[in-house]
């Protein structure tokens, strides 16, 4: 690129994207030329930074989901035919029920407790406890109920990650181990299996970070009223997204109204808020500040070229793997 420019000393303006090698080639090959950062690429950079910033605060997007009716967060236990409050499928509870039924069946048939003990291979004390209990649930008091688990302190974290869409038990186990979890992977897997197989109320999903970023990036006057209200709700619940919206819209005004002289103040304002994605963008702009200011001030832009490139790529992908360069060339020329 530098050699090509050096052979053409009459070049006065170079409109380019912000890749470092383009800046270096333009500086070496045409030091006399004014370098202009293309506005399409500038807005594309802002769009990517905005989406990353919203993704970092995706929890704030839950404010957009209408609260579901107040229900018990734990799944309702299966009702046993005996009217028992204990769910079936619990191996200790089911075993106790079965033994209780066996003991009482033999006693009702006229067998003595000693006979029941011999036939069922139980200790005298076990037979006595089962025989004196009118219902097996009497034996459950204090057993397996509300016992603390090493996983209890980490269930809120697992619930949050589950609601974010992460349902891989091994990955979640790896995430909570550095947080201090000392239990086994099997315990995490069992907890998530219970969540996976339990009926849950159907609730609306919050919008994706890309959708919310789209609301921020669009002209406010073109945003439909429902989306304006949703964006206002998010901004109310999340100061970072509110600050992001202000900065993105301020940059849009600079870009559309050619107010490049305001860029230094914009960079200072961005660095005062806790928005790492915009800080990264600001650092990149600082390294290419003169070209960016020129792009926000001068009329030059390669947006039309980008449009033609996009059109050619679309034609190429339509015939991917089924034609050669000659057909591609003909289609591009005929579509012009």
If phi > 0 it is left, if psi is from -120 to 50 it is alpha, else beta; for residue 79 that is beta
What pLDDT does 70 receive?
43
Contact of 185 with 173, CB cutoff 8 Å:
yes
The more confidently predicted of residues 245 and 208 is: 245
Lowest mean pLDDT among 5-9, 156-160, 199-203: 199-203
| DSSP code string of 231-286 | HHHHHHH-HHHHHHHHHHHHHHHHHHTT-GGGHHHHHHHHHTSS-HHHHHHHHHHH
Q: How far apart are CA 274 and CA 247, in angstroms?
A: 12
pLDDT band at 93 (very low <50, low <70, confident <90, very high): confident
Contact assessment for residue 144 and residue 93, using Cβ atoms and an 8 Å cutoff: yes
- Short-list 328, 75, 42, 50, CA closest to 211: 50
CB 294 within 8 Å of CB 272? no
pLDDT number for residue 79: 44
Whether the pLDDT of residue 302 is over 70: the answer is yes
- Side-chain half-sphere CA neighbours of 139 within 13 A: 21
Q: Residue range 156-177: average pLDDT?
A: 88
| Distant-in-sequence, close-in-space partners of 310: CB < 8 Å, separation ≥ 6 | none
pLDDT band per the 50, 70, 90 thresholds, residue 65:
confident
**Token couple for 41:** 């690429």
User: What was the pLDDT predicted at 146?
Assistant: 56
- Among 100-104, 126-130, 137-141, 299-303, where is mean pLDDT lowest? 137-141
Phi, psi of 34 (to 5 degrees): -85, 125
Classify 325 as helix, strand or coil.
helix
Q: How far apart are CA 179 and CA 181, in angstroms?
A: 6
Instruction: Yes or no: say if 5 and 25 are a contact pair by the CB < 8 Å rule.
Output: yes
pLDDT score recorded for residue 326: 87
CA–CA separation, 109 and 107 (whole Å) = 5
DSSP-derived secondary structure for 92-152: HHHHHHHHHHHHHHHHHTT--HHHHHHHHT--HHHHHHHHH-SSGGGGGTTSSSS---TTG
Joined tokens for residue 12: 């006065």
Rg of the chain, C-alpha, whole Å:
34
35: β partners: 14
Its pTM stands at 0.59
pLDDT at 141: 61
Higher pLDDT pick, 119 / 80: 119
Amino acid 74: pLDDT:
47
Query: Angle, nearest 10°, between helix axes 263-271 and 239-256?
Result: 170
What mean pLDDT is reported for the chain?
Answer: 85
What's the confidence (pLDDT) of residue 86? 52
In Å, how far from its chain's centre is CA 293?
Answer: 34
Structure letter (DSSP) for residue 151: T
């Amino acid at each position: 690129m530098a050699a090509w420019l050096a052979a053409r000393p009459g070049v006065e303006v170079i409109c380019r994207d912000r890749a470092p090698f383009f800046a270096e080639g333009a500086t070496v090959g045409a030091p006399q030329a004014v370098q202009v950062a293309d506005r399409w690429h500038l807005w594309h950079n802002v769009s990517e930074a905005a989406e990353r910033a919203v993704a970092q605060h995706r929890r704030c997007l839950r404010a957009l989901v209408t609260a579901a009716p107040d229900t018990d967060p734990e799944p309702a236990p299966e009702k046993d035919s005996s009217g028992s409050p204990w769910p079936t499928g619990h191996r200790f509870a089911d075993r106790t029920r079965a033994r209780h039924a066996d003991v009482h069946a033999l006693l009702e048939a006229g067998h003595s407790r000693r006979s029941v003990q011999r036939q069922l291979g139980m200790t005298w004390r076990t037979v006595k406890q089962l025989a004196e209990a009118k219902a097996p649930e009497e034996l459950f008091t204090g057993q397996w109920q509300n016992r603390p688990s090493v996983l209890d302190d980490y269930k809120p974290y697992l619930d949050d990650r589950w609601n974010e869409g992460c349902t891989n038990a091994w990955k979640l186990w790896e995430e909570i181990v550095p947080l201090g979890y000392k239990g086994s992977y099997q315990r995490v897997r069992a907890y998530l299996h219970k969540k996976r197989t339990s009926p849950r109320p159907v609730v609306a999903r919050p919008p994706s970070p890309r959708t919310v970023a789209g609301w921020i990036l669009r002209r406010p006057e073109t945003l439909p009223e429902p989306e304006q209200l949703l964006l206002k709700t998010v901004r109310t619940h999340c100061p970072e997204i509110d600050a992001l919206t202000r900065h993105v819209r301020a940059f849009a005004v600079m870009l559309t109204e050619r107010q490049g002289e305001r860029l230094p103040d914009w960079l200072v304002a961005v660095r005062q808020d806790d928005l790492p994605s915009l800080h990264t963008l600001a650092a990149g702009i600082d390294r290419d500040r003169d070209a960016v200011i020129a792009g926000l001030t001068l009329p030059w832009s390669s947006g039309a070229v980008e449009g033609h490139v996009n059109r050619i790529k679309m034609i190429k992908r339509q015939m991917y793997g089924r034609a050669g360069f000659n057909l591609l060339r003909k289609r591009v020329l005929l579509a012009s």
